[in-house]
Amino acid sequence: MFKGLGLSLAPLSVTAALFSLTALFSLTALFSLTAFYSLTAVAGGHLPGEKGAHDHHDQHQGHSSMQAPAPADAKVYFIQPASGQVISGEVKVVFGIEGMLVAPAGTDTPNSGHHHLLINVEEMPDMTMPLPASENVRHFGKGQTETTLQLVPGTHRLQLLLGNYAHIPHNPPVLSEVIEITVK
């Protein structure tokens, strides 16, 4: 009787085990699908809570549209000093421009910009953003075309970069060659 019960219970246990397994797999499949859809939602569009990603998107679009086009032949260059020049005391720098006009910052005139002088800049700033202002990135937002620098003795690298009315480089950037001078 006991043995008989055992035998008759066995198929039931197998069925139950099979059923459990099936249920487990179904659940796993359902979970995977749900996870997949959630991931797709995140990748496809920003969720309402994803402020950071949304801001970045807006900012990027905003600056691209604020990047003014520049004619292909536009250029900026140093009228003085000459590359390789050795200078005692202050350094007078005169900026040259061709194919574009100098306009003060804040004045949105087509094909115009104002000069920025990059001094010993190791890493170029982001060309799609307003240029930072520092000792190494000097703005001439009043439309100046020359300046006088007090530099410590040694070699220095100078480069000109035009920025539009909002201090954003043009597309393509109007960038001079790098010159190197030595201050005694």
> Which residues of the chain form contacts with Cu ion (CB under 5 A)?
139, 141, 163, 167
Nearer to Cu ion, 117 or 183 (CB): 117
- Min dist. Cβ of residue 137 to Cu ion (A): 9
Spatial separation of the C-alpha atoms in residues 84 and 157, rounded to whole Å: 10
**Least distance to Cu ion, CB of residue 152, Å:** 24
Minimum Å gap between C-beta 168 and Cu ion is 9
Q: Which residue lies nearer to Cu ion by CB, 66 or 87? A: 66
Q: To the nearest whole angstrom, how small is the minimum distance from the Cβ of residue 105 to Cu ion?
A: 5
- Nearest CB to Cu ion, comparing residues 91 and 160: 160
Task: Give the integer Cα–Cα distance in Å for 125 and 139.
Answer: 13
Structure-block tokens of residue 155: 């070699």
Instruction: For the CB of residue 167, give the shortest distance to Cu ion in the complex, in Å.
Output: 4
Q: Which of 10, 14, 11 is nearest to 22 (CA)?
A: 14
CA atoms within 13 A on the CB side of 108: 6
The closest of 153, 154, 150, 145 to 135, measured between CA atoms, is 150
Pairing, β 86-87 against β 179-183? parallel
Nearer to Cu ion by C-beta: 87 or 96?
Answer: 96
- CA separation for the pair 18, 172 (Å, rounded): 67
Residue 81 or 163 with smaller CB distance to Cu ion? 163
